[in-house]
Amino acid sequence: MNLKGKTILITGGASGIGLEAAKQFLAIGAKVIITGRNQDKLAAAKQSIPSLIAIRSDVDNEDDAKALFKEVNALGGIDILYHNAGVGTPGLNLGKANAQILENAIYEMNVNYFGIIRLNNLFLEMLKAKAESAIIITTSLLSIVPGIEEPTYSASKVALGFYTKLLRKDLEILDSTVKVFELLPPLVATAMTANRNDKKISAQELVKALVSGIKKNQLTIRVGDSKIVYLMSRFFPKLAFNLVNPKKIYNSIG
């Protein structure tokens, strides 16, 4: 797929992976619109990269989503919708009664899962009308093997992974030209993972792999340890689980 000249909307684009993606897409010759719920971060991103179009919008809010669609439509529409926004909450032991578990699950599902469906419902017809278009959805290594420190986050990404695969198949059945790319990152060095001492890759490395995969029409893009965990999970599921969840984690939550 050719990215040059495309207009790309990136949710959660004001920092981390989203902002790095914006930089690399702009360098290719794309036009980039970023969204996020933090106006200060959006303003800082715009000041740093004046060619960006920044629109405040929360994927968790239906009214925000509708307003975003209207504004993007007025700007001439998009060719690619990149679902990058996501949230994670502190892990809790599911075996202990705790009202916070439900609150965390609702919050993560609303942003990480329902937010994607909400925007797709709004933008899908626009994308279908384009000669070449795409939806990019970020799931996770934890959609392959769950993380005991991120139980409800893992569940939200599993749901999103199945949705992504079925959306792709439905569009194929409808003979649509809209491509659906799934990006499966390992742990990435961002503000959200700053307190983690595990092995991480940089946002730059992740986005470089994403861009390469899109150019080659590689619909499922596993990066770094996601490749290893995927293969191990198929043949040695217990070993894969233990790789993602080493014993030190059991000790920390026990």
Tokens of 76: 């001439």
C-alpha to C-alpha distances, 89 to 19, 104, 105, 246, nearest whole angstrom: 21, 6, 9, 20
Q: Quote the CA–CA distance of 45 and 4 in Å, as a whole number.
A: 21
pTM of the model: 0.93
Q: Quote the CA–CA distance of 234 and 137 in Å, as a whole number.
A: 22
Residue owning tokens 């930089």: 23
Q: Quote the CA–CA distance of 224 and 208 in Å, as a whole number.
A: 12
Pick the CATH number of 7-226 from 3.90.1150.10, 3.40.50.720, 3.30.70.890, 3.10.20.90: 3.40.50.720
Whole-number pLDDT of residue 194: 60
The residue among 191, 159, 212 whose CA lies nearest residue 28 is 212
N-terminal to C-terminal alpha carbon distance within the chain: 47
pLDDT in single tens digits along all 254 residues of the chain: 999 999 999 999 999 999 999 999 999 999 999 999 999 999 999 999 999 999 999 999 999 999 999 999 999 999 999 999 999 888 878 888 788 899 999 999 999 999 999 999 999 999 999 999 999 999 999 999 999 989 999 999 999 999 999 999 999 999 999 999 999 999 887 766 667 767 788 999 999 999 999 999 999 999 999 999 999 999 999 999 999 998 766 555 55
* Ordered DSSP codes for 48-106: H-TT-EEEE--TT-HHHHHHHHHHHHHTT--SEEEE----------TTS--HHHHHHHH
C-alpha to C-alpha distances, 62 to 93, 104, 124, 128, 132, nearest whole angstrom: 31, 19, 16, 22, 27
Which are the contacts of 122, defined by CB distance < 8 A and separation ≥ 6?
A: 65, 66, 68, 69
Q: Using an 8 Å Cβ cutoff, are 34 and 217 in contact?
A: no
Task: Answer positive or negative: Cα dihedral of 206, 207, 212, 217.
Answer: positive
CA-only gyration radius of the chain, Å: 18
Whole-number pLDDT of residue 251: 56
Whole-number pLDDT of residue 97: 79
Q: Using an 8 Å Cβ cutoff, are 171 and 180 in contact?
A: yes
CA angle 143, 145, 149 (to 5 degrees): 95
Whole-number pLDDT of residue 247: 79
Q: Using an 8 Å Cβ cutoff, are 156 and 110 in contact?
A: no
Whole-number pLDDT of residue 22: 97
Residue 95 phi/psi, 5° resolution?
-85, 0
Helices 203-215 & 16-28 angle (0-180, nearest 10): 50
Whole-number pLDDT of residue 200: 82
